[in-house]
Structure formats: structure tokens, C-alpha cells
Chain A
Amino acid sequence: MKIKTDGILFKRLSIQQRLPLLICALLLFSIIVYGFANYYCVRKASLIIGQDRLNSLTDQMGSMFGQSALVLLNTANSTAAQGAVLQCLKSNGNKFRKETIAALDKLHNNKDWISTTLVNANGVLILRSDSSKKEIKINLPDVIKQNKVGPNSTRIGMIYNINGTMYYPIITAVTEKKQIMGYIISWVMLSTTRKEVTQFSRLLGTGAAFYIVNSDGSLWTDLVKPVKAKLAGINPTGKIMEYTNADGKPVMASAKNIAGTAWLVMVEFPKENLLASLSNFVKWIFGIGVVLLAVGIFATWMMSSNITKPLNQLTIAATAISKGNYGAADPIKVFKNDELGKLAEAFNTMQSQVYRTWQELDEKVRERTTELRDEIKRRKVSEESLKVSSQKYHQLVEEVKDYAIIMLDVNGKVLVWNKGAEKIKGYKEDEIIGKSFACFYTKEDFEAGKPQYLLQKAAQAGRSEDEGWRVKKDGSKFWANVVFTAIYDNKGKLSGFAKITRDITEHRKLEEERILINNQLEERIKEIAIQSLQLETVNKELEAFSYSVSHDLRTPLRAINGYSIMLQEDYESKLDTEGKRILRNIISNARMMGQLIDDLLSFSRLGKKELAKTSVNMQLLVAAVVEELLQNEPENKYHIVTGTLPPVEADPVMIKQVMVNLIGNAIKYSSKKAGPEIKIGAINEDSNPVYYVKDNGAGFDMTYSGKLFGVFQRLHSQEEFEGTGVGLALVKRIIDKHKGRIWAEGVINGGATFYFSIPKN
């Protein structure tokens, strides 16, 4: 099976193919991931085990070599401790020479022990043992410098390659009081055979190798011969080093210092030996993976064919329905009761319902088609009638004379023009059609963009209205009310405007006049307000004046009168008749003036007095007034008759003043009659009574009746009847204040009648 399939190819495959392919890919992926993860884990573990083994081997080797070195060193140490050796050194080889050589000879107990020498602290040769097999040709001071040996100690020095043979020195410090006096240097040959080394290596493990290295890295050896340096630097702490050896194989190595020597031991393992078990493990994993993959492919192939089989059936049936074949397909066979089985069942139900619905729909479509056909017939009829009514409407619009009804297109060009428009604006239909309505506007309005503004407003809000000057064809202006209405086509798009204009110049003139009058009226009201303010001031001044008059004018008058009377009382006897007459005249004039002042004051006071209306019993009031007045008339000659007097709604103090004045007048003007008669009564007692006071006295000339109620107006002379001419004026003022009416009838010498009435409330 092809796993690496490009996207497009994969999409073309059926579900039956795609499903196993997908599962296999998934399986393979997990096997690979799992295998690799395991491989790395095992590899890591193997390497750790190898490293441990390497380390312990190196440790063992190091300590093994160290042990054998120790044996050598002890022997050398004891030799150096001998007193003869020290003495010999101190004497520079002159003393104890024999004994020293004997001691050095004892060290030569091994065939590899080549030569032993004694040198001083600077490495200068003192003597050589007799048993030395041959002389090692080397610069001894350098050897001393290269291998640093402390006081009282012995050390195995570095390996030197001298003419292809490897030697190493065992150097022992000869010490006195911690001062190194010289050294015993024994040279040993490194003479291990290949066979010995191979055997030894086998003990370490297959493929393992080991090397002895000078601690400064100057010489590498496999103990048989010097070898090439395996590494540039060497780490003697036991840390694992990895590199590729001369055979090109990756190896691991570990190195350790060997105690008491200037040597390192390094053990080397090829990595492949360590990872041998790992390759076995990988083989197993791969094998298991292949088996799993095979089983997986087989299982999914089976499963997908099981799923897709009924799905394929469903697909065929659905395709048939989509092609409009609602009834033909056989029901899908249901095998199982799982999700697919239920799907198939649901599909079967759906299919039957779709078939039924399709049948119903088909029937409805047929019905609707018939209805539509009828509808079209009906529409045709109504369109006809609409056409007729539209024609009638057009006639109507055209004939309207008082309104200019104009249709505009979207840009404001005139489309329809009625007779009213012609009458108002002066243009004939053929002159204006197609021209912009903007020509009806004044130059100022046009420049201010008013026509466009009104159209835009109507387009946005559906309607706009304006009032203002418009221009007729002949250039004259008229004041117009204009309404624009936006018109839309049946798709809701703006198709134009209806414009209705009315000439309201007359209306406006009237309106302007009205405003003018209103303004004038307001001006008047303001003036009146100012005047009434002024009047108020004047009234106040008048009050102050009358107060002043009442006090100050009366006081000197009172003095004139008083002193005249004193004169009369005290000196009358000394005056002649003429003097007496003059005095009397002074007195009576002073009195008269006092009376005038009093009357005037009460008259003016009345003006500012508030009415305190109440129901007044006129019967009682008149009786009291009559009695009071008669007290001043000692002659009981008056025949006074009082009729029934209904009560009146009035200020009692003021109405009393009225009755005092009227009855007083009646008494005064009838006083010269032989039989004075006075009648007081009321006419129309029930509803709105008219009171009257009638006498048979002097009467008056009706020609002058207009003067009766004026202030200071009198119809009789002072000599005939005394009086100030204020009394009736006061009465009239009181009646006026009550919003009542007073009038009089009189005949000269035939008496007078005064009537008054006061409205109720």
C-alpha cells in the first residue's frame, strides 16, 4: 500500500480505501516513534553500563600497577636509608664507596633491572653499581628536573624511549634532615611481551585495549612498544572520553593516575561492543512493528468495507433523489441495529416522506398555477379601470386653477404643468416643460442654493415646505407657499417630485397688517402702562395735596371764623348796623369756605376708597337719615313719606352718603314751599329696584340736567339756596363706583325726582 500519497490523489479515493490507509499511516507512525524512543533509552542505558564498567576496570588496573610499583619503591627506599649511602654522597664518593656500591648491587635482583647510579642533588653522577648491565645514556640532571621527587620519598619516573627500547627510572631521594642530598636512580627496562599483553587485555573484555601514558602525555605505550598518542590531552580523573581510534571505530576510554608513578593507565573500549545488545533489540522492535502493521491493515480493510457498503447504498439512493427521482428507489436493506442501521432506517423514512411531500407540492403547484392565471385576468381588468381613473385624475389636476401642481423629475426639470401653474407663474406649458424649476426663484434665493436645498430635503425626508418670494414669467414677485413631495417608483427608488405652489400674497399682506397693528397695539399698551404709572404718581401727589389742604387751609380759616365770632361776642355793641352786617358776611363766607373744603375733600377721598359691599337694609338706613336731617330743621313743616325699600348690595357708608345728599337736597330745595312734601320709594321692588327721592320744591330746567352732577355745577344761586355744587357730584361718583345708574327729572318750580339703581353683584 502506498502510504505517501499526495493530497489530491488521496481525496479521490473512496472511504473504503481511505480508512485503512489512514489507520496504517497512524500505526506506522506510532511504531516508528515508539521504536526510536526505545532505541534511545536502551542505547543510553547500555552506554551508562559500559562507562561504569570502563571506570571500574581503569580503577582496578591503576591500583594493580600501583601495588607492584610499591614493592619496587620500598626496596629502593630502604637502600637510600642506609647511612653509608649518605656518607658516600657527602664525601662526593670518596668515603664508604664500597659499602654503597654493595647496597646498590642488592637492588639488581631482576633481569630487567639495567643499571643503578647515585647522583648528587644536581644530578651529577657520583658512582654506578658494579652489576649494571649497561650504561643508560641520558642527561641525568634533566631526568631529576622532569621527575620531581620530594625528600624521604621514592617515585617511578616517566618512561623514556632510548633507541627504541623503553626504560623507566626508580628515583629515591637521599635525605638528611629533610634536605635532599642526592638521588639513587635505578633504570628498569619495560620488557613486556605481546603475548602477555594480549592475555591481559582479554581479561579486560573483548576488543578492549589499555595504554600506559606518561602523565605529561610525552609517551604512549601498549607496554610492548611506544604507540602513537590516542588523544591530545588526557583527563586522568576517570571521566569518560570518546574518540575514534586508528581503525576508524568509535571508542570510549577512561584514564587514572597510577599511585607512586608518573604514569597514567587508560582503558579503551570500542562502542560497538557495548551496543551489541542494542542492535538485537532494534531487530526485535522492527519485527514486531511489521507484524502489527500487517494485522492492522487487514483489520481496517475489513471494517471499512463493512461500514462503506451500506453507505454506498445510501449514496446511490440519495443521488437518485437529487436527480429528481423521488419515488423510484427501493428501500435500503437494513442489516444491523448500529448507527449505520439507524441511518439507513431514517433514510428510508425520509425517502418515503420526501416522496409524499413531492406529490403534495406538485398538486399545490398545479392549483396555484390556475389561481395565478385567474389573478392575471383580474389584474388586467383593474389596470384598465386604473387607467381610466388616472386619466380622470390628470384632468382634475390640470383644471385646478388656484394651485400650481407641477411634476418634476429627479433633477428638478418640469415634467407636468397644470393650468393653476400657468395662472400663477405665467408660463405656458410648452414654454416650461423640460426647464428647471429654479427659474421661479429670486436671484438671491437661487444664489443661496434654495431650490437645490428644498429638493434635497424632500428627497431625504419625503417632504419639504417653504414660504417665500417667487418670480413670475413677467418678472413680478408673489409670495408663495410651496410643498415638495418625493415620488418613488414601485421599487422604492426616487423617481421625481410633486410640487404644489399657492399664491398667498394677499394672505401675507393681511398677516403683515395684522402684525403691524399688533405692534402698534403693544406700543399703545406700553404707553398706557407708562401713563398709568405717571397717573399713580400724580394720584399720590394729589393725596399729599389734599392732606395738606385739609389741615393747612382749614387752620387759618378757622382763625378768621373764630376771631370774627370773638369780635361779634365781645364787641358787637360797639359796632353800628353796617359793621355788624360786614362781620356777619365775614363769618358766613368763612363757613362757606370751610364747607367747600370739606366737600371737596370727601369727594376726592372717595376716589381712592375701596368698596366694602354688603347687604344694606335701606328701610332702616333711610329712616335714620331722615331723622338726623330733621334735627337741623326746627320747623316741623316737612311731610316725608317713605315707601317700601328693598335691601341693596352696596358699601353702607357710601350709600348712606347718597341718601343724606339726596334727601338733604330735597329738604333744602323744598324748604321755601308752603307745604313741602318729600317721597322716598322704590320702583320694581322685586328684581332690580330703582330707588327714588321726589320733592315738590324748586325743581330745575331739564335743559341743564347734564350739569346736575358736575363738580361745582349749580343750577341755583347762592342767595336762593346755599350749596357748594359738590353734593350731587359726590352722589354720582358713588353710584358710578357701584356700577349703577343715576338720573333726574325736574320741572322748574314743579319739583324734582332723583332715581338710582345699583346692580346686584
Chain B
Amino acid sequence: MNDEKVEILLVEDNPHDAEMTIRSLKKVNLANRLIHLKDGEQALDFIFAKGMFADRQIENKPKIVLLDIKMPKVDGIEVLRQIKLNDTTKTIPVVIMTSSKEEQDIIISYDLGVNSYVVKPVDFESFAKAVSQLGLYWLITNQAAG
């Protein structure tokens, strides 16, 4: 996939959660320009055009980042911090997706400047609905932020 056209960056280590997310986005035709990365380290390499993504242009920012919190190596909170600390990347909308309603996680995320927040419900339908709504909102109605 040509990374210049990437609109959605999904960072999720759990393949089942990733599959369900991608399926929900497909249903509303949003998965065409999606890239799925398995952990925080890969995500940072992609966003800041380094490591395995060194030949990428940093200016080609994704339209939205869907970020899981609990991940190996670098967790979602750290990825969020680095995106929001960098002047070039801080305008990228970031949506945190988490399995828990742990208040501590939510508070830290908002402190770091997260744009939205989704608690992954057990109920797949609700999840699919939430994900597709989020994708639509940020990609279509909130173009200006990109």
C-alpha cells in the first residue's frame, strides 16, 4: 500500500480486536487506506519516518490514529505522548481504544491531549458502531484538523 494515501493508522497488538475493527471500518468503506501496526514501536517509526519506515515522508501524516493502550514494548500512552509533544505530529487526531474504564488511563490520556476515547465493549455490535462512527467523524467531518 502506498503510505502517502494512508488515512487510518490502526495500532493494535491483539489480532482479533484488529480484525473486528477493520471489519467494522470496511462496512462503512473506510478500511481502504488503513495500515495496521502491531505495537507502539512500529507506530512511532511510522509516524516519525524512522527505522523500518525511514524512507517515508514525515509530512504524509495519517488522517487519524486508532491507538490501543495495552501493547508490548511501547504502550499506547507513550505513543500518544510523543505524537502530541512533536509540533509536526501534534495535529494528528488520536483516538485511544481501551478494554477498561480505568480512570487513571483516561485522565492521563486527556492530559496528554487525546482527541477521543473509546472503551471497547464486549458487545461487538456496539464496538463496530462506535469505531465506524469515530472513523467517519474524524475522516469526513473533521478534515480541517489534518
Contact = CB atoms under 8 A, between A and B. Distances in A.
Interface residues of B, number: 20
B23 interface: yes
7 contacts: A550-B101, A551-B98, A552-B99, A554-B99, A559-B14, A561-B124, A601-B100
B123 A594 contact: yes
B16 interface: yes
Contact of B102 (A547, A563, A564, A594): A547
B101 A558 contact: no
Nearest to A555: B99
Give 10 closest A-B pairs by Cβ, nearest first: A594-B122, A550-B100, A559-B16, A562-B124, A562-B20, A551-B99, A565-B124, A554-B99, A558-B122, A557-B122
A558 B102 contact: no
B100 A558 contact: no
A568 to B, nearest CB: 10
Contacts of A590: 122
A561 B122 contact: yes
A562 B20 CA distance: 7
- Give the most central of B100, B103, B121: most A CB within 10 Å: B100
A103 interface: no
A469 B14 CA distance: 82
Contacts of B123: 561, 591, 594
A566 interface: yes
Given A562-B19, A593-B122, 7 more contacts: A550-B100, A558-B17, A558-B120, A561-B122, A562-B127, A591-B122, A594-B123
SS class, residues of chain A in contact with chain B: helix
B20 A554 contact: no
- Give the most central of A555, A558, A598, A602: most B CB within 10 Å: A558
B70 A551 contact: yes
Contacts of B101: 550, 598, 601-602
Nearest to B27: A569
Interface of A: 547, 550-552, 554-555, 557-559, 561-566, 590-591, 593-595, 597-598, 601-602, 605
Contacts of B102: 547, 550
Contact of A550 (B19, B99, B121, B127): B99
Contacts, number: 62
Interface in B28-69: none
Nearest to A597: B122
Interface string B87-116: 000000000001111110000000000000
B19 to A, nearest CB: 8
Nearest to B19: A562
A591 B124 CA distance: 9
B125 interface: yes
Given A550-B99, A554-B100, A566 B23 contact: yes
A365 to B, nearest CB: 107
Contacts of B122: 554, 557-558, 561, 590-591, 593-595, 597
Nearest to B23: A566
Nearest to A592: B122
B17 A547 contact: no
Nearest to A549: B100
Contacts of A555: 14, 16-17, 99
Contact of A558 (B23, B103, B127): B127
B54 to A, nearest CB: 33
Contacts of B16: 555, 558-559, 562-563
A723 to B, nearest CB: 17
Contacts of A605: 103
Contacts of A591: 122-123
Contacts of B127: 558, 562
Contacts of B99: 550-552, 554-555, 558
Nearest to A557: B122
B121 to A, nearest CB: 7
Nearest to A559: B16
- Give the most central of B14, B103, B121, B122: most A CB within 10 Å: B122
A604 to B, nearest CB: 12
B86 to A, nearest CB: 28
B137 to A, nearest CB: 21
Contacts of B120: 554, 558
Contacts of A595: 122
A566 B101 CA distance: 25
Contacts of B20: 558-559, 562, 566
A36 B135 CA distance: 150
A539 to B, nearest CB: 15
Contacts of A562: 16, 19-20, 124, 127
B144 to A, nearest CB: 31
B100 A565 contact: no
Interface in B72-95: none
Nearest to A556: B16
B115 to A, nearest CB: 22
Nearest to B103: A605
Contacts of A566: 20, 23, 124
A554 B124 CA distance: 12
A249 B82 CA distance: 145
B125 A594 contact: no
Nearest to B20: A562
B60 to A, nearest CB: 32
A720 B126 CA distance: 25
A550 B16 CA distance: 17
B129 to A, nearest CB: 12
A601 B70 CA distance: 18
